[in-house]
Structure 1
Amino acid sequence: MTGTGEEQDGAAERDGPLWWERRRGAALDVGLGGVSAVECAFEGVSFAHEAGVPVAVGVLFGIVVGAALVLRRRWPIAVVLISIAVSPAAMGFLLGVVGLYTLATSEVPRRITAILTAMSLAATFVVMYMRTQGDVEADRTLVIVLSGFVAVALTVPPVLLGLYIGARRRLMESLQERADSLERELSLLADRAEERAEWARTEERTRIAREMHDVVAHRVSLMVVHAAALQAVAAKDPVKAMKNAALVGDMGRQALTELREMLGVLRAESPRPVPAMVAPLALVGSFEDGPSLEELEALVGQSRAAGMAVELDVRGAGAGAGPAAGYPAEVQQTAYRVVQEALTNCHKHAPGAKVVVRLAHRDGEVAMQVENGPCDGKADEPGLPSGGNGLVGMRERVLGLGGVFVSGHTDEGGFRVSAVLPVR
């Protein structure tokens, strides 16, 4: 069983022979084993005289016993048992001290460590008592005290030091593991933050695309309708042609104004650094800069001026006096954009059809509906292009605020767009 926890560093850092993790550990153990062997060899001379065996046998026995200290990291329990076994021969003091220290620093269960420590303490006390009793026969108490002191001095300090060193080593390993774990978690959080930032940038690009689509598509669609009407009446009715030309100019200026405002927000520099996760959200400004429901009448008026037969029906509390005053800006802008895009689709796909715009203020929500009848076939098709993103953009806007969006053909052959937005 390995002892000191020094083998926990990982195979990548291992450079020692056999069971040693490092070369310096092997050199230290070999050096301690050599010193212990020399000590036990000298003590083996006295053991040989007392046991009545040849001196060479006692010296050889001492060398073998002392050299066992080399195995202290591999088998710490065996080293301590050897030191206890040879204690009656009065040899192996370094072997016992270093063995107990290594045992205390190892991963051996504390119950086994306590048992071996008690055995070593008892063996040392008995040996010291038996050897001192003959020298101080008159004072037995002094013999007991002296034997106990020596036994404690040779047993307890190395065990306590070993327990401290082992606990400190395990604490450092635990702190290192926590540091590595924290580093991995920080790396994971950085990756997730980058993913969230990329998601935010994607969402913002989608939002900007919707804003650009709403601004450009509606204004340009009206300009195309007026241009077609201008071409049709230029020779027959110059006054009406001039009026349509003025309207086209107004539409173009409004479109350019809105585009400049949006591009101005995109190019504006932040007065202070913005975090990567928040920076994309600061590109288009706040909802307060966008249109509101109070401008809905003007929006419908522009379509009327383009020749569309459109009716505006507003119902609910406060319908006649600024009903959107208490609504959040994002609700007003989304409702406005839904109606705007729906009217743009009517210009594109149902020229000449009658259109009804309904706005209802309810308890906790606002509902809007744009419905066009079937195309009568009498109006000239202005040839407006369609990218197929209008309904998708409206749905994304409404669902993003927790609302409900429905669109589809009516039984009469027209088309209906309906949306309900919570106002809180």
Structure 2
Amino acid sequence: MTTTGAQQDGTGTTTRSLLWWGRRRSVALDVGLGLVSAFECALEGVGFAEKAAIPVPIGVLFGLVVGSVLVLRRRWPIAVVLVSIATTPAEMGYLMGVVGLYTLAASDVPRRITATLAGMSLAATLIVTFVRVRQDVASADFDPEPGAWYVPTMAGFMSLGLTAPPVLFGLYIGARRRLMESLRERADSLEQELSLLADRAEQRAQWARTEERTRIAREMHDVVAHRVSLMVVHAAALQAVALKDPQKAVRNAALVGDMGRQALTELREMLGVLRAGENDARAAKPVPLAAVGVAAAAAAAAAADDGPCLADLEGLVGQSRQAGMVVELAVQGEAREYAPEVEQTAYRVVQEALTNVHKHAAGAKVLVRLAHRAAEVAMQVENGAPDASGGGPAAELPSGGNGLVGMRERVLALGGVFVSGPTDAGGFRVSAVLPDRDGWGEQQL
């Protein structure tokens, strides 16, 4: 395993790895410091050789080797500091000691190790400085003689000056670097979170748009399908009796006109609600998600407030009777007001069930049951087997197959229960139970 080799950067060019430095500027700085330290130790090696009574070239060579150790300060700061402490008695390597202590304090080495080595360096420097100052005082001719405090005070100041500043500055630089790295990591984390939030906001906006389109499609189906189905039934009856009973034909024609006008009125109301929701969405800019939510909520609330209610069931049943259907309405329990969306959903379920009878079971008898219970309202529409003489085939009503799906979606959206299926007698039954939301709110209060 080697530490050097060719590597390819993001631009496609091939560069050589820089060992443990990572940047050319760091290489130049450390090599420069190593050369200066080696030159310093070589000069100080001359004096060391004279004191140790060894050849000067050996002292110079020793100084060069010791000083060049500073090049390794980023990779092995502890080794650099230990070498500087070991050479302190030889009075060489001051630059190496200062830079080594700074690098050690700024690195990720545990603080107890840094404190121990800094203390050892301080003690070694204090001892050497104390001896050197005392020798200088003894060899010099002072008038008057300095006091006993002079030597330890000067030694203390000099040792602290060589040890404390690099350690404190290194601790500051290390703490600042770690703080910047922490802030950079937090910034990256926040950027990722913002990206996730933006994606989720876009998903919620898409979901809100999908829900609104589904609701609009369901409302259009409920409004148009029932009215147009009755209009087709009356038109078929009008065609059958036009020559035989002109008076009945006139009544049927009037009914067709009334139903057409009612369908147009309901369509205009729905379009008005949609335009109001669109205006609310534009007013809510520049927050797209809030605009979508406001528009959907406003449209849904307006549609629920302006839509039909349970009190209109009698008129709904009457329209089917006028179209020739035999319909019986049975109400159980004491009638009361429910939340607007509950009453509208109950009305739409009965309306769509009667529409399906017109489409698929012409001439069948129908029983509509409505039950007001303690905390819910239940409705059921059950028809018998189709009667071939009821004119069903002549009406030729198309079916998109979305009626039951829309009813189920409406009921389940309010937390209700929806069941539909054929009966043993050959007919069909639609049942739904809706919770009384106003009653729940009073219990929670």
TM-score above 0.5, yes or no: yes
The residue identity in structure 2 corresponding to 1:391 is L
Pairing 1:84–2:85 present: yes
Structure 2 partner of 1:220: 228
Q: Which stretch of the first structure deviates more once superposed, 212-221 or 59-68? A: 59-68
The one-character-per-residue Cα deviations of 1:203-235 (angstroms, maximum 9, x if unpaired) are: 111111111111111011101100110010000
- Report the CA distance between 1:178 and its aligned residue: 0.3
Structure 2 regions of 5+ residues with no counterpart?
1-8, 139-145, 438-445
Structure 2 partner of 1:296: 313
Q: Do the aligned residues in 2 keep the contact of 1:408 with 1:416 (CA within 8 Å)?
A: yes
Q: Do the aligned residues in 2 keep the contact of 1:15 with 1:22 (CA within 8 Å)?
A: no
Rounded Cα–Cα distance in structure 1 between residues aligned with 2:386 and 2:123: 110
Pairing 1:390–2:403 present: yes
Q: After superposition, where does 1:190-269 map in structure 2 within 5 Å? A: 190-268=198-276, 269=278
Rounded Cα–Cα distance in structure 1 between residues aligned with 2:324 and 2:387: 14
Pairing 1:351–2:362 present: yes
Structure 2 partner of 1:312: 329
Structure 1 partner of 2:38: 37
Structure 2 partner of 1:105: 106
The one-character-per-residue Cα deviations of 1:343-388 (angstroms, maximum 9, x if unpaired) are: 1011111111111111111111111111112223221112111111
The residue identity in structure 2 corresponding to 1:352 is G
- Report the CA distance between 1:285 and its aligned residue: 4.4
Structure 2 partner of 1:175: 183
The residue identity in structure 1 corresponding to 2:107 is S
Rounded Cα–Cα distance in structure 2 between residues aligned with 1:386 and 1:191: 39
Rounded Cα–Cα distance in structure 2 between residues aligned with 1:51 and 1:217: 113
Structure 1 partner of 2:134: 133
Pairing 1:55–2:67 present: no
Structure 2 partner of 1:72: 73
> What TM-score, normalized to structure 1?
0.92
Q: Do the aligned residues in 2 keep the contact of 1:312 with 1:357 (CA within 8 Å)?
A: yes
Structure 2 partner of 1:3: none
Rounded Cα–Cα distance in structure 1 between residues aligned with 2:239 and 2:48: 128
Query: What percentage of residue pairs aligned between the two structures are identical?
Result: 72
Which of 357, 372, 377 in structure 2 is aligned with 1:366?
Answer: 377
1:411 alignment partner, SS class: coil
Rounded Cα–Cα distance in structure 2 between residues aligned with 1:142 and 1:296: 111
The one-character-per-residue Cα deviations of 1:278-322 (angstroms, maximum 9, x if unpaired) are: 4445253421121111211111111111111111112212x3xxx
The one-character-per-residue Cα deviations of 1:125-148 (angstroms, maximum 9, x if unpaired) are: 111122223233585543222222
The residue identity in structure 2 corresponding to 1:346 is V
The one-character-per-residue Cα deviations of 1:237-284 (angstroms, maximum 9, x if unpaired) are: 011001111111111111122122222333444251254334445253
Which of 427, 434, 438 in structure 2 is aligned with 1:421?
Answer: 434
- Report the CA distance between 1:333 and its aligned residue: 0.7
1:356 alignment partner, SS class: strand
Q: Do the aligned residues in 2 keep the contact of 1:16 with 1:23 (CA within 8 Å)?
A: no
Q: 1:278 to 1:343 in 2, by over 3 A?
A: farther
1:91 alignment partner, SS class: coil
Rounded Cα–Cα distance in structure 1 between residues aligned with 2:150 and 2:16: 52
Q: 1:422 to 1:377 in 2, by over 3 A?
A: same
2:214 alignment partner, SS class: helix
> What TM-score, normalized to structure 2?
0.87
Q: Do the aligned residues in 1 keep the contact of 2:41 with 2:93 (CA within 8 Å)?
A: yes
Structure 1 regions of 5+ residues with no counterpart?
1-10
Q: Do the aligned residues in 1 keep the contact of 2:331 with 2:371 (CA within 8 Å)?
A: yes
Q: Which stretch of the first structure deviates more once superposed, 222-231 or 25-34? A: 25-34
Instruction: Count how many residue pairs are aligned between Structure 1 and Structure 2.
Output: 408
2:288 alignment partner, SS class: coil
**How much is the aligned-residue C-alpha RMSD, in angstroms?**
1.9
Rounded Cα–Cα distance in structure 2 between residues aligned with 1:91 and 1:277: 71
Q: Do the aligned residues in 2 keep the contact of 1:72 with 1:102 (CA within 8 Å)?
A: yes
The one-character-per-residue Cα deviations of 1:75-114 (angstroms, maximum 9, x if unpaired) are: 1111111101110110111110000000001111112111
- Report the CA distance between 1:15 and its aligned residue: 8.5
The residue identity in structure 2 corresponding to 1:270 is N
Q: Do the aligned residues in 1 keep the contact of 2:284 with 2:290 (CA within 8 Å)?
A: no
Q: Do the aligned residues in 2 keep the contact of 1:72 with 1:79 (CA within 8 Å)?
A: yes
Q: After superposition, where does 1:266-285 map in structure 2 within 5 Å? A: 266-268=274-276, 269-271=278-280, 272-274=283-285, 275-281=287-293, 282=295, 284-285=299-300
The residue identity in structure 1 corresponding to 2:311 is E
Structure 1 partner of 2:3: none
Q: Do the aligned residues in 1 keep the contact of 2:382 with 2:428 (CA within 8 Å)?
A: yes
The residue identity in structure 1 corresponding to 2:333 is G
Q: Do the aligned residues in 2 keep the contact of 1:353 with 1:376 (CA within 8 Å)?
A: yes
Rounded Cα–Cα distance in structure 1 between residues aligned with 2:292 and 2:252: 40
Bigger relative contact order, structure 1 or 2 (CA pairs below 8 A, ≥6 apart): 1
Structure 2 partner of 1:7: none
The residue identity in structure 2 corresponding to 1:146 is M
Q: Do the aligned residues in 2 keep the contact of 1:292 with 1:333 (CA within 8 Å)?
A: yes
The residue identity in structure 2 corresponding to 1:262 is M
- Report the CA distance between 1:392 and its aligned residue: 1.0
1:270 alignment partner, SS class: helix
